[in-house]
Chain A
Amino acid sequence: MSENNAIELKHVTKRFGEVIANDRVNLTLRKGEILSILGENGSGKTTLMNMLSGIYFPDEGEIFVNGTEVTIRSPKDSFDLGIGMIHQHFKLIPILTAAENIVLGLPQKGRMDMKKIEGDVGALIKRYGFDLNPAEKIYDMSVSQKQTVEIIKVLYRGAEILILDEPTAVLTPQETEKLFDVLRNMRKDGKSIIIITHKLNEVLEISDRVSVLRKGKYIGTVPTSEATVASLTEMMVGAKVDLDIHRSAPVSPKKRLEVKDVTCRNKEGMIVLDHASFTANSGEILGIAGISGSGQKELLESIAGLQNMDCGEVLYYSDDESTHQLHKLSVNEIKQLGVHLSFVPEDRLGMGLVGSMDLTDNMMLRSYRNGKGAMADRKAPRDLAQKVVDELEVVTPSLSTPVRKLSGGNVQKVLVGREISADPTVLMVAYPVRGLDINSSYTIYNLMSDEKDHGVAVICVGEDLDVLLALCDRILVLQSGHVSGIVDARTSTKEQLGLMMTGTVGKEEAVNE
């Protein structure tokens, strides 16, 4: 085995029951390079990395680290080999400081000298260009700072090989830039880095080589310099994909929904939405951008009648010139008014659908009250389920399959299909393509565009700024519960949105209408 390879995987297979998560995967990480692992959701990226970090044990195959064959049985084995993984979900203790979290669980001799530890941590921070105060408590930190702590934690323990699982998912464009600078510094220092992602632009920007997985199989590795967005997509999906989102000019937009000074608190009594105001027009897609947890969920739920508001109004302007005050009504009362609010919530199986019920029963979730009598009509929902399955190409064994047995993309199609079939005048969607493969994502984008063309006021909460900029007409940016501005999607840039998301730009500058 070549000494130049930090990690080499040969024919690694991992099965979960009948599902083959990794099928004879080969992978090579050279010393001192940044390797991207690219693949759609469910292609087995994380499973593969979890085998390197000792969380799973491979069923078959060999793993070589620095040229010698190894057996990784536990996270400790992995660590002893100098492999450090930074997971998507941070494992930090909020009431401790950064430095305390970093040394947590490390064997120490004698008295713990926090000064010295903070000094050591400080040296690491300086060496790689992080931005962090080792004495700061975790609960005071932003998401990107917490991630920094996680990275320093593995470096402090002497990791030579770093694995980052979707590190940019929670970051703004500016923070992503900063992280990439740090990663480049590490590479200069001789560290080998694997970064898991599905954002193609980032792959092209940061990595030296790209390895692609598809449905658990290893497709190939290419040097980044020879790759393009189109070629990588083709490797990921296995076919050429049209990556253009069709966006038409809004036709005679009319004021449909007006949100005024809405303020909400979460269960702990903290204000999560602070005097948010905006209007949504018919025939237009209004995007909502922001770091996750900035009040997006509360905003949509306020409109849908699912959120207790401290104050504020939600006004609905119907076609016959009348105005309804939705904020005083329950979900059912809104429906009885004839206001067709469709809502695709972020939590699909926990809110939008009932996982244990079949397609038919899920179709009637919003409409089961229709019809007279005490008995529920199941014929119409069954027809609707069949229609959704046919039109959106939902892959399901039958209409009586519980929806939780379907894949993420098919679950979302069922949910979106039902909500669109209700003939909405307002369509709200939260993270509509999270967890979906590329083809399904574009199906959903196009469905939203179609609804817009039919005069529906579409409100879309998204996380991929490139997509929001390509899909929406206007974009509202939330920054920790405040509306930091509403911009025209056709003339704005990702960087501009990023600055608004972190609140580094004043309101006056940002409003760009």
Chain B
Amino acid sequence: MVKRASISKGEAIFIRIVAIILSLIVCALVIVALTHENPIQVYGGIISGAVGTSRRMWVTIRETMVLLLISIGLTPAFKMQFWNIGAEGQILVGGVVSAALMIYCGNSMSSGLLLVLMFLASMLAGMIWGFIPAYFKAKNNTNETLFTLMLNYVAMQLTTFCIIFWENPAGSNSVGIINSSTRKGWFPSIAGNAYLLNVIIVMAFTIGMYIYLKYSKQGYEISVVGASQNTARYAGINVKKVIIRTMMISGAICGLAGSIIVGGASHTISTSTANGRGFTAIIVAWMAQFNPFVMILISAFLVFMQQGAIQIATQFGLNENASEIITGIVLFFLIGCEFFVKYKLEFRKKTEEVA
């Protein structure tokens, strides 16, 4: 095993494509072992499940957008080497705040104003959830991994607490569809597509984040702080300020994702509103090497496989965990292939002259 001195772009892409193909083959083998069906048929099922009908395709797009937005939100933090694994919590508080607005202001406000308020409030909530660990990191150098992780549980409990208040119908232990008759706070259809607004918002953030990181002064500061805090201090960058500012941005975008889930997709709130996407997004961000446009492809691929797996699960009588198995296999290959991008295998020949 030898570390590669350098690798051409084409070679790196080739390795990744091979990894994807291998992951699909292994997925097929697993599915065949479980269902004894023809793998081609199974893949047909996946494709049909993900994009088979216009509605399925829009669900896939909707889920892709949510995952993408969370990845975009995590990107500045990870680029700064701040291990924000608290996206789950940031999404939840954003979602809770949105749900609260929908429930309490649904009848007293115009739809447009309510939506804008939901966006702002969820971003603010996520921002606070991002600010707390960043502040203590900057002030006392606390471990941000543990801190953000624990805040996830705080957000989870907060959500549980709110659900008790908002229970509908009483005794169901869930909130149910909020404003199902008035549709207040629901994202409006644009040109007949219920989820087009989600796409527009997320794409705007994707492009914005690309420009912010690549061309802005603050983006440059984030890269320097991420590379070396010593260098950042040397360059006169206020490291604490950058850490807090960046985490507030990161938290705000994740909070907005919560609002998009609640207002633009599920129209309800539960402890599984984030549903692990805060963690999956970490993988998306890292695999894309923080390039927002590559993230589109990766999140689309992951969601495609997930949605397809849900379909084959019902079709072939597997339970919902099948989708997680497939995601797991795909991620295993995608992450594993990075090893071969960095290293190449070289077998040590037994030297004959060794006496």
Contact = CB atoms under 8 A, between A and B. Distances in A.
A284 B220 CA distance: 36
In this complex, the interface size class of chain B, counting residues with CB under 8 Å from chain A, is 20 to 34
Contacts of A352: 231, 234
Nearest to A333: B236
A18 interface: yes
A366 interface: yes
B238 interface: yes
A374 B217 contact: yes
A66 B231 CA distance: 51
A343 B234 contact: yes
Interface in B2-38: 2-5
A355 B221 CA distance: 15
A335 B223 contact: no
A413 B224 CA distance: 20
B230 interface: yes
B230 A331 contact: no
Contact of A332 (B2, B236, B353, B354): B236
Given A17-B5, A69-B355, A345 B234 contact: yes
Contacts of A17: 2-5
A350 B224 contact: no
Interface string B226-239: 01101101111010
B234 A351 contact: yes
Given A69-B355, A357-B223, A375-B217, A365 B5 contact: no
A203 interface: no
Interface in B182-232: 215-221, 223-224, 227-228, 230-231
B224 to A, nearest CB: 6
A365 B217 contact: no
B235 A365 contact: yes
Nearest to B230: A351
A276 interface: no
A369 B217 contact: yes
B230 A347 contact: yes
Given A69-B355, A331-B236, A365 B216 contact: no
A376 B211 CA distance: 11
Given A357-B223, A365-B224, A376 B216 contact: yes
Given A330-B236, A361-B220, A364-B220, A375 B230 contact: no
Given A354-B228, A375-B215, A368 B220 contact: yes
Given A69-B355, A376-B215, A357 B234 contact: no
Contacts of A357: 223-224, 227
A350 B231 contact: yes
A279 interface: no
Interface in A343-397: 343, 345, 347, 350-357, 361, 364-366, 368-369, 374-376, 378
A227 interface: no
A368 B355 contact: no
Interface string A59-88: 000100000010100000000000000000
Contact of A354 (B216, B231, B238): B231
Nearest to A71: B354
Interface in B231-277: 231, 233-236, 238
Interface string A32-64: 000000000000000000000000000000100
B235 A331 contact: yes
Contacts of A95: none
Given A350-B228, A356-B227, A357-B227, A306 B233 contact: yes
B220 A71 contact: no
A18 B2 CA distance: 11
Nearest to A364: B220
Given A347-B230, A355-B227, A374 B218 contact: yes
21 contacts: A17-B3, A18-B5, A330-B238, A331-B235, A331-B236, A332-B236, A335-B236, A343-B234, A350-B231, A354-B224, A354-B227, A354-B231, A355-B227, A356-B227, A357-B227, A361-B220, A365-B224, A368-B220, A369-B217, A375-B215, A376-B219
Pairs of residues from A and B, 9 with the lowest C-beta to C-beta distance, nearest first: A331-B236, A332-B236, A354-B227, A376-B217, A351-B230, A365-B235, A17-B5, A351-B234, A376-B220
Given A330-B236, A331-B234, 12 more contacts: A18-B5, A19-B5, A69-B355, A306-B233, A331-B236, A343-B234, A351-B230, A354-B231, A355-B228, A357-B227, A368-B220, A374-B218
